[in-house]
Structure 1
Amino acid sequence: MAGTLNELILLNSGISSCIPPEIGKLDKLTVLDLSFNSIAGTLPDTIGNMRALEQLDVSHNMLAGEIPESICELPRLKNFTYSYNFFCGEPHRCLEVPRIDDRQNCIAGRPDQRSGEACIAFLHRPPVHCDAHGCIAPPNLPPPPPPVHAPPPPVY
């Protein structure tokens, strides 16, 4: 499927997990829309492997951290929307993408951002561990040992 899928539109799908790093294997995608969900964690830098990507929308989620520079270096990226999240930094290169929307984040020095209080409150929440949400498969554990059976009581 990675070689034939051109668009992946999952907007308003009720997703409440993290974006798995394996998404970067969808290198033929031209459109990726994950907006209006409850996606948490950070943007995986493997999205930077999606060299055909033209439109990326991750707005209206609960993403945080820094925008990976590899995403903003995508050669065909024309529209990158990451508004209404909690990103705290974006590489200068992102400002060179023809159309970006970075409103309502926590990016210092950018217009129309969330209040400092809202950003601090969000950042003081317990951290999201994507591996705990099933984005990263747990290692294969050995099977548990067989149960130990007590000998039957003596018969008198």
Structure 2
Amino acid sequence: MSKRSWYVFLTLCALIVISGIVYDAYQSKASFKELLLDHLKESEKIIEMNVGKNRFRSDESLTKITDQATIDRFMDSLSEIKLRKSDVWNYDNDEYEIRLYTSNYRTFGVFFYGPDHIRIYNSAVRHKRYGWTYRIVNDFDRSVLEGLLK
């Protein structure tokens, strides 16, 4: 091979590697709105929430919420959460499990782990992003979660 052919080959390899890195960085960012709220159809709304705390501990509590104003306030508080894929989290703090039921019989799950980690489940979509745990990268007031259990 000529010297020019090697340069072209190495340039193509570098472009492939760089595009892979950029794509991976793009995929590791998400938002609560993108993962959950954007999947609700216009005619579909969340009609019930079940909120549980410390599911695997003896002090577990479960609250069923059907008041639409409370559900809307809670969803609005979550809509601005920005997320980044995370491989490490701990279960040292209180854990919250929120099951959301829609008018079209779909289920979403939102699991809060530790002080700033979250996992989102969508019963209708089997995308790899729903198997990831995310770290919340902007401010989020966890007292909103505690307020649901009162």
Task: Place the TM-score, normalised by the shorter chain, in its bin.
Answer: under 0.3
Which of the two has greater helix per residue? 2
TM-score (norm 1): 0.19
Which of the two has greater strand per residue? 2
TM-score (norm 2): 0.20
Q: Bigger relative contact order, structure 1 or 2, given CA contacts below 8 A and separation 6+?
A: 2
Which has the greater radius of gyration? 1
